[in-house]
Amino acid sequence: MKRTVEPKVLYFGTPVVLISSLNPDGSTNLAPMSSAWWLGYTAMLGMGTSAQTVKNLIERPEIVLNLVDPDMVAALDRIALLTGSEEMSDAKRARGYRYEPDKFAAGGLTREPSSNGPDGVAESPINLEGTIQAIHEIGGPDSHLCSLEMRVERVQVREDLLMSNDRYIDPLRWDPLIMKFTEYFAGGAPAYPSSLARGWQMPPMAVSNTMSSAASGS
């Protein structure tokens, strides 16, 4: 039997990505997000219009998508509730967000020069460099949501993930970090306690010993 419900979020499972964009002063803003999909060499990204990333990309369309694997989950969670914008909504503030201009330092991540301007993330196994081609409103002006259409122009992949022919990435070696209902998953199992889930006041999951150890840094 099925029930008709109205879930708080519809994150059924999408890859986590760190977006690099250029701030007005030329520094790089780094933003985690988990609404991304690809078709050919086009990436579609879903974000809130108040995000500093969206403001940056409207003015400066150069972008780097830094794909995330499970080894990066602790660093990712350290910046999950940080924003590059000094202005934020009351709702965002209530979820625990705070302003942080240097998310690389906050996450313990290393800057890596890109070919198009924004710094990439050296720890990311895959970096996609490109340009935003269009920004589309989603759900009407009151939703404050948009989709960004990115043209992927350069792909960098860690060598151990490549098959013998460099045109193919080995799907058995590439294990993306997935966000599922604001929780981190890797290989189908919970990967790390999520600050975002706490900010959204999601019901707690049963935490495994592995997750507990990761949270305590042991």
What is the predicted pLDDT for the residue at 211? 52
The DSSP annotation for 175-190 comes to ---EEETTEEEETTEE
pLDDT at 173 over 70: yes
What is the predicted pLDDT for the residue at 218? 40
Q: Give the pLDDT confidence of 133-153 residue by residue, as tens digits.
A: 999 999 888 888 999 999 999
Phi/psi at 26 (nearest 5 deg)?
90, -5
- 89-110 mean pLDDT: 85
Q: Give the pLDDT confidence of 184-204 residue by residue, as tens digits.
A: 899 888 888 888 888 778 888
Give the bridge partners for 15, in sequence order.
Answer: 178
The two counts, helices (H) then strands (E), for the chain are 6, 15
Rounded to the nearest integer, the mean pLDDT of the chain is 89
More confident residue, 188 or 105: 105
pTM: 0.87
pLDDT at 98 over 70: yes
pLDDT band at 207; cut points 50, 70, 90: low
- 53-68 mean pLDDT: 97
Contact yes or no for 67/127 (Cβ under 8 A): yes
Contact yes or no for 158/123 (Cβ under 8 A): no
More confident residue, 105 or 208: 105
- Which of 56, 43, 67 has its CA nearest to residue 147? 43
The full set of domains in the chain, from first to last, is 14-216 (2.30.110.10)
